[in-house]
Structure 1
């Protein structure tokens, strides 16, 4: 995963919009009232912990008292998480190397696995850590062909090698590939995509959205502050052309996400 620092404050600027896909994913999962009472829940790439707390709210009920663990490689994010919820065990680990001490009943990951390379090998590996009958629930952004991400290459044209290396850090597979990778290990795989139309406000809202996520490795890989400033100026200008603010000052930002819920065989 990228070794650049995460900023929980900047990442949290769009908290409601970033939580909505997680809420949609959690809503798709069976709950204790329906007979699914997981004893071990792990949130891979828990970030500042707000989504992990939603998992705790959903599963610490109806007499169910699961052990919930949030895993993240960012010390900054985990510091924020520890301040938020003491019902959860927070662990500093890299998802790519993580292994649980015992099998997991619900392995959950919201907007994190895109930072881990090699999903064709990663997903079967994660399946091994899930108890038979347990669930794997994943959401990853699938907006890499949208202008917001394609314009990164245009703005970084002078630094093609550096930008390409940084962009290589964030990858997902095609939806069908996830089915093919998971179905040998799972009795059922549910796949779907959703396009959210986020309503953003403020100056350069799309830039600010991307700045806290996909732009992090790109800016870190540029040679100096002069290059970063030139890149950002060009990128902001093009974003305003493609995502212009409405007369009321609001900016509409369509964003695609891919969801997977698989039941371990």
Structure 2
């Protein structure tokens, strides 16, 4: 990502809801009882490190000397926050698009990060090349680009069509079958699935608060000035409140689609 300034506190406002997909992906991974005992684990786009810590807990012993777990993120703010979480994890600042491990990885994991990196038809085979034979690539990416929360960005940004249209292309994914085709030549097992979560949010403008820490970042950066950003935000919030109204108890339901994949590289 060209803009690597992230706010860990804002991103963590919906911690339990944001972690659900990562928890589900980790739960689907084989464990030691299944004969899978990774010695080198990497979390790409680790953010503030909370999911990396869940990975470490899922594979007991990952903090010992003979097992290496690495968290990688391009944001100084996220890495600074992660380093305060667990000193036994190797936190590294690097851009996913150019990152390379020092040695082959047993489990290459990424939760809600790779949609920010372009050209997945080349990126995924490249990442798979870093995985040892018999190792796993486990990915979750948002697949909510056709949802009202995303489509209303264009409506609210009609006064700045070129800037908004360009910024909206900052995050993109392929169709599930395209991922299958990109990785099938090197894999003997590919598990693809999609899930729609119905996040239960609280507070004022909760959907805006959710997307402002992720999807809206390139949009706000692309708008010409503070006046434009204020005008856009007012329009966007108004439309979101119509499409995602609070319920009688004050809570707001926010459906959100996500794409998952666990692929095993073919043993040598």
SS at match of 1:223: coil
Alignment map for 1:158-169 (pairs within 5 Å): 158-169=159-170
- Alignment-derived partner of residue 228 in structure 2: 227
Q: CA deviation at 1:51?
A: 0.1
- Alignment-derived partner of residue 14 in structure 2: 14
SS at match of 1:101: coil
CA contact (8 A) 2:70 2:89 kept: yes
CA contact (8 A) 1:2 1:169 kept: no
> More deviation in 79-88 or 54-63?
54-63
Structure 1 residue runs of 4 or more that deviate by more than 3 Å after TM superposition? 61-65
- Alignment-derived partner of residue 217 in structure 1: 218
Which consecutive residues of structure 2, in runs of 5 or more, have no partner in the other structure? none
Q: CA deviation at 1:61?
A: 4.2
Structure 1 vs Structure 2 CA RMSD: 1.3
Change over 3 Å in CA distance of 1:62–1:40 after alignment to 2: closer
SS at match of 1:80: helix
- Alignment-derived partner of residue 69 in structure 2: 68
Change over 3 Å in CA distance of 1:32–1:63 after alignment to 2: farther
The answer to whether residue 253 in structure 2 is matched with residue 252 in structure 1 is yes
- Alignment-derived partner of residue 136 in structure 2: 135
Q: CA deviation at 1:33?
A: 2.6
1:80-122 deviations in Å (ceiling 9; x for gaps):
0000112210000000000111000000000000000000000
SS at match of 1:6: coil
Q: CA deviation at 1:168?
A: 1.1
Q: CA deviation at 1:4?
A: 4.5
Name the count of aligned residue pairs.
265
Q: Distance in 2 between the 1:55 and 1:156 partners?
A: 39
Which consecutive residues of structure 1, in runs of 5 or more, have no partner in the other structure? none
Q: Distance in 2 between the 1:66 and 1:163 partners?
A: 45
SS at match of 2:204: coil
SS at match of 2:185: coil
The answer to whether residue 68 in structure 2 is matched with residue 58 in structure 1 is no
1:196-245 deviations in Å (ceiling 9; x for gaps):
00010000000000000000010011000000000000000000000000
Give the TM-score of the pair, scaled to structure 1.
0.98
Q: Distance in 2 between the 1:62 and 1:45 partners?
A: 19
